């Protein structure tokens, strides 16, 4: 059984053997039964409790609004002191409204959970003696991790084995340079940044390989203790801030209005309880209580539609930024090109085909184990040599600093180091060049010739790597220091053709108001060749060496005009993204590698792919199931559809509903009776909720997705003022006609106003949902059907037996005709107001 003592509090001071003993584990890992027991005992490997809302919790959330709670209390008081039937009806309507919201939101929540499971990050762990992939949450103390470049470190661990292991620990130490790790024993007082034998949750591997023993998980980790102390939460994006401001805006108006109505009704010596219930019922109609549910439904529906287009949204609120994005930055490989690198040829320094270069390339690729990549796969696929006489003895894995991969093999009694990598980085460690079968010349004598060959091939769109070798003698181990004084053998030529329809895709993005910027580490010739093939004619380029000479302030003014950033170092990608953001753009970044993490974090929308390394996929807001810009185009469209439909509800909540409630509040001051009873107000609100609940499935006009849209609270205020006044004008017209023209009694007045209020609010949804004339913009089928059903039910209700429950009275047909005339005028005036509003206010 695991020894749960304080001996592991300074585990870096223990030997790996002692740690294994303390944790009652072995190099073969835990058994499944033991791991299950530890998971139960220590809990999931998370910093916070899993945000899994139960059905009951979600249901209760529908009623947590202070106004709803007050309404429950007032209804309960009403049961005690006066009309129990009315109070029960009020509570029934509130419960039914809550159930409606629960039903929609619960379905949305489950759908999103299923989508997130599709892009779950896993880690290689030894269980029952063999390596298996497990979700990060299932890691427990005592697990043996099998780690390589690109992996997230899932828990605080001690190294058991390591090979050229470099780890980025910036999240904990702030140090931007990778830290080399190795098996060691350290004093207990060793500070965090110098614990070279330990790995920490929240960091990630840059290069190398390792096996590590998990010591602490979840909140017990160093990262867990920091987040607990600081209560770290992800920053709110623009959409979330906008929603919060909108909610506060309506809440302030509601509180002022309700308090004023209550005080005036009491001053007019009306029953206090009736006035209180009336005021609370008005507040239910005014407050954006459905806003969280509507947003959740819209975003989850958008996420499902985006998933159909192979786009998985990890953070729902990122959909808004995705739709608003006007700049997308991307590498070329796999996004603009096919992504399936094809081996083209092996050339010596003279540009002639060389079997020697091919053989050494095949040796290097065949024995490489540190980093899975398309280059080595292409070499292994297209070349074939008998390596039975070769034995691998060591490897120096590829990393993004050296940009080289070295393999040491023994062959006929000697040891040969074969190094492959970026041409410039290979030449940096070479002293000689192979000429012919055995002759060698000084590199400096032929460097210009090699450089010219490199530039000519690059200009044709080929990707070029260099390969070199060196005799090591009898040593069976090598280190990075051995990569020097090597013999340059030649060039490896690869071809990654552009995708067939990529130029059409780029044009589609341009038509959506999204400009593409290519950020690549490849040389300028390859980048320019590709861009000319995909339709970026005469692009403006900025190269790495030029970028390094430009100040941050100057870069802000330059980035907007640049289409290609070539020869860019990984740490400069973030600088480009930040400059684009400061220039006023909403920036998306597509990345799938270790060196893309900082740029993914810096972008407004971090976009990765399913095949990305763990750390890139974890940093992304959105994951593409295919690395294809065409997938991105459809995702952007759906993101804009989602935002447009959310905005529709916001406009609805600030127009007809607000106008009706404001009118009712005003009418209560000069009418000798309440214009609607509390239960009738709540029924009105309940019925008008139904069409709004279907907004997520509504169709969106082309102009709403043709360009990025931003959340603007000032536009919402203007919209509320214009359409609220239009709504109130016709409300007061209805009051005047009912009271002074038709001379109806209070019960008929309420019935007439109830019908006019619900029908007009339902029809106005069809007007507000589009900038065009409502009959020229086809609404979604659910919205249209539900709207018609609500109108039909509202008209019939006063003529049914249930009318008595709500104190509604049937109206003569001529009265209904007059009311429908008012509604027709209202819809017409709303169309006119809409035309002038959008002519003067740009959204």
How confident is the model at residue 232, as a pLDDT? 44
CB 653 within 8 A of CB 250: yes
Residue 316 has pLDDT above 80, yes or no: no
pTM of the model: 0.70
Positions of CATH 1.20.1110.10 in the chain: 237-289+654-840
Q: Say yes or no to pLDDT of 715 above 70.
A: yes
Structure tokens at 558: 């330059």
Q: Is the pLDDT of residue 450 over 80?
A: yes
CB 258 within 8 A of CB 280: yes
Mean pLDDT of the chain: 82
Q: What share of the chain is helix, strand, coil (3-state, %, to 5)?
A: 55, 15, 30
CATH for the 311-338+499-636 domain, from 3.40.50.1000, 3.90.950.20, 1.10.645.10, 1.10.10.10: 3.40.50.1000
| pLDDT band of 72, cuts 50, 70, 90 | low
State the pLDDT at residue 330.
Answer: 86
φ/ψ (deg, to 5) at 61: -60, -25
In this predicted structure, what is the pLDDT of residue 1? 45
Q: Mention the CATH class of domain 6-46+119-230.
A: mainly beta
pLDDT in tens, 359-393: 999 999 999 876 667 789 899 999 999 999 999 99
Which of 28-42, 405-419, 571-585, 594-608 shows the lowest per-residue confidence on average (mean pLDDT)?
594-608
- Compute CA distances 720 → 62, 831, 833, whole Å: 25, 15, 12
**What are the backbone dihedrals phi and psi of residue 369, each rounded to the nearest 5 degrees, phi first?**
-135, -5
End-to-end Cα spacing for the chain: 64
- What angle separates helix 678-693 from helix 84-117, to the nearest 10 degrees? 20
User: Closest Cα partner for 843 from 724, 697, 713, 722?
Assistant: 713
How sure is the predictor about 69, in pLDDT bands with cuts at 50, 70 and 90? low
Q: Which residue has the higher pLDDT, 79 or 605?
A: 605
DSSP-derived pairing of the beta strands 587-590 and 605-609: parallel
Which residues are part of the catalytic machinery?
331
Grade residue 230 by pLDDT with cuts at 50, 70 and 90: very low
Note the pLDDT tens digit of each residue in 100-126. 667 655 665 565 565 555 556 788 999
What lies within 8 Å, CB to CB, of 670 at 6+ separation is: none
Q: Per CATH, is 342-495 categorized as 3.20.20.70?
A: no
pLDDT band at 255 (very low <50, low <70, confident <90, very high): confident
Distance between CA atoms of residues 597 and 617, nearest Å: 9
- pLDDT at position 751: 94
How far apart CA 543 and CA 564 sit, in angstroms, is 8
For residue 709, give every residue at least 6 positions away whose Cβ sits within 8 Å of its Cβ, in sequence order, or none. Answer: 323, 324, 640, 643, 644, 647, 843
**How many whole angstroms separate alpha carbon 293 and alpha carbon 62?**
9
Cα 701 from chain centroid? 25
Is residue 49 classed as helix, strand or coil in its secondary structure? coil
DSSP string, 581-603: HHTT--EEEE--SGGGHHHHHHS
User: Which pLDDT band, with edges at 50, 70 and 90, does 403 fall under?
Assistant: confident
CA 503 to CA 501: how far, in whole Å? 6
Interval 81-104: pLDDT, tens: 555 665 666 667 667 666 766 765
What is the pLDDT at residue 582? 92
Per the rule left: phi > 0, alpha: psi between -120 and 50, beta: everything else, 76 is alpha
743-756 pLDDT, tens digit per residue, is 999 999 999 989 99
Are 343 and 379 within 8 A, CB to CB? yes
Tell me: the pLDDT tens digits for 814-827? 999 999 999 999 99
Q: Could you say which of 3.40.190.290, 1.10.287.990, 1.20.1110.10, 1.10.3720.10 is the CATH number of the domain covering 237-289+654-840?
A: 1.20.1110.10
d(C-alpha 112, C-alpha 115), whole Å: 5
Out of 78-87, 341-350, 600-609, 717-726, which region has the weakest mean confidence (pLDDT)? 78-87
pLDDT in tens, 485-527: 999 999 999 988 888 788 888 888 889 999 989 898 878 888 8
Q: How confident is the model over 170-224, as pLDDT tens digits?
A: 767 656 567 888 998 899 888 888 899 999 988 888 777 899 999 999 888 887 7
Ranges for all domains in the chain classified under CATH 2.70.150.10? 6-46+119-230
pLDDT digits (tens, 9 = 90+) for 553-573: 999 999 989 989 988 887 788
Residues of the chain with CATH 3.40.50.1000: 311-338+499-636
């Amino acid at each position: 059984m695991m020894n749960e003592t304080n001996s592991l509090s300074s585990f870096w001071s223990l030997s790996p053997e002692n740690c294994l003993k303390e944790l009652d584990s072995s190099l073969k890992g835990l058994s499944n039964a033991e791991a299950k027991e530890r998971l139960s005992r220590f809990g999931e490997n998370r910093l916070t409790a899993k945000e899994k809302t139960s059905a009951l919790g979600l249901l209760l959330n529908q009623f947590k609004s202070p106004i709803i709670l007050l309404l429950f209390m007032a209804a309960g008081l009403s049961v005690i002191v006066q009309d129990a039937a009315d109070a029960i009806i009020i509570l029934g309507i509130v419960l039914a409204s809550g159930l409606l919201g629960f039903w929609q939101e619960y379905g949305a929540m489950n759908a999103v959970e299923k989508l997130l499971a599709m892009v779950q990050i896993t880690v290689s762990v030894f269980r029952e003696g063999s390596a298996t992939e497990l979700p990060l949450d299932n890691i427990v103390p005592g697990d043996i991790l099998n780690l390589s470049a690109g992996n997230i470190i899932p828990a605080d661990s001690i190294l058991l084995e390591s090979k050229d292991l470099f780890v980025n620990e910036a999240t904990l130490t702030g140090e931007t340079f990778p830290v080399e790790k190795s098996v060691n024993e350290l004093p207990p007082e060793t500070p965090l940044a110098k614990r070279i034998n330990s790995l920490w949750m929240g960091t990630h591997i840059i290069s190398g390989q390792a096996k590590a023993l998990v010591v602490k998980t979840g909140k017990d980790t160093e990262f867990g203790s920091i987040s607990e102390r600081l209560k770290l939460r992800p920053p709110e994006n623009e959409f979330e801030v906008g929603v919060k401001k909108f909610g506060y805006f309506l809440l302030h108006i509601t509180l002022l209005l309700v308090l004023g109505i209550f005080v005036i009704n009491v001053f007019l010596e009306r029953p206090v309880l009736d006035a209180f219930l009336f005021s609370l019922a008005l507040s239910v109609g005014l407050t954006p209580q459905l806003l969280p549910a509507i947003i959740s439904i819209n975003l989850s529906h958008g996420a499902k539609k985006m998933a159909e287009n192979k786009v998985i949204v990890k953070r729902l609120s990122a959909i808004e930024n995705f739709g608003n994005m006007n700049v997308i930055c991307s590498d070329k490989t796999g996004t603009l090109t096919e992504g399936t690198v094809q081996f083209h040829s092996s050339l010596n320094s003279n540009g002639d085909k060389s079997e020697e270069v091919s053989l050494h390339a095949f040796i290097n690729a065949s024995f490489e184990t540190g980093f899975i990549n398309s280059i080595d796969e292409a070499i292994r696929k297209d070349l074939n040599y008998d390596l039975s006489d070769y034995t691998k003895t060591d490897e120096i894995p590829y990393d993004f600093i050296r940009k080289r991969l070295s393999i040491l093999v023994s062959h006929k009694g000697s040891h040969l180091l074969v190094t492959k990598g970026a041409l410039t980085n290979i030449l940096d460690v070479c002293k000689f060049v192979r000429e012919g079968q055995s002759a060698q010349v000084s590199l400096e004598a032929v460097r210009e010739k090699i450089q010219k060959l490199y530039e000519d091939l690059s200009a044709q769109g080929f990707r070029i790597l260099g390969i070199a070798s060196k005799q090591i003698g009898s040593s069976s181990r090598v280190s990075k220091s051995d990569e020097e004084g090597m013999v340059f053998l030649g060039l490896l030529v690869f071809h990654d053709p552009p995708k067939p329809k990529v130029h059409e895709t780029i044009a589609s993005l341009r038509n959506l108001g999204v400009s593409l910027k290519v950020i690549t580490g490849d040389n300028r010739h390859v980048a320019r060749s590709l861009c000319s093939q995909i339709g970026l004619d005469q692009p403006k380029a900025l190269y790495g060496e030029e970028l390094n000479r430009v100040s941050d302030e100057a870069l802000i003014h330059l980035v907007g005009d640049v289409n290609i950033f070539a020869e860019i170092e990984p740490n400069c990608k973030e600088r480009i993204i930040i400059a684009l953001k400061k220039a006023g753009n909403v920036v998306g970044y597509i990345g799938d590698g270790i060196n893309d993490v900082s740029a993914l974090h810096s972008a407004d929308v971090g976009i990765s792919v399913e095949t990305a390394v763990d750390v890139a996929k974890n940093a992304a807001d959105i994951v593409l199931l295919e690395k294809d810009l065409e997938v991105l185009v459809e995702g952007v469209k759906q993101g804009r559809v989602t935002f447009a439909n959310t905005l529709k509800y916001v406009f609805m909540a600030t127009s007809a509903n607000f106008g009706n409630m404001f009118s009712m509040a005003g009418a209560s001051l000069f009418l000798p009776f309440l214009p609607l009873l509390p239960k009738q107000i709540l029924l009105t609100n309940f019925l008008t909720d139904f069409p709004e609940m279907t907004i997520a499935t509504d169709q969106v006009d082309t102009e709403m997705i043709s360009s990025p849209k931003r959340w603007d609270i000032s536009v919402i205020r203007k919209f509320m003022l214009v359409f609220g006044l239009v709504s109130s004008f016709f409300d007061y017209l209805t009051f005047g006609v009912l009271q002074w023209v038709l001379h109806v009694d209070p019960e008929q007045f309420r019935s007439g106003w109830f019908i006019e209020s619900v029908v007009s609010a339902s029809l106005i949804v069809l007007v507000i949902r589009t900038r065009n004339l409502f009959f020229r913009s086809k609404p979604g089928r659910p919205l249209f059907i539900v709207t018609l059903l609500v109108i039909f039910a509202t008209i019939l209700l006063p003529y049914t037996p249930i009318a008595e429950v709500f104190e509604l009275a049937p109206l003569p047909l001529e009265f209904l005709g007059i009311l429908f005339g008012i509604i027709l005028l209202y819809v017409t005036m709303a169309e006119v107001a809409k035309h002038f509003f959008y002519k003067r206010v740009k959204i």
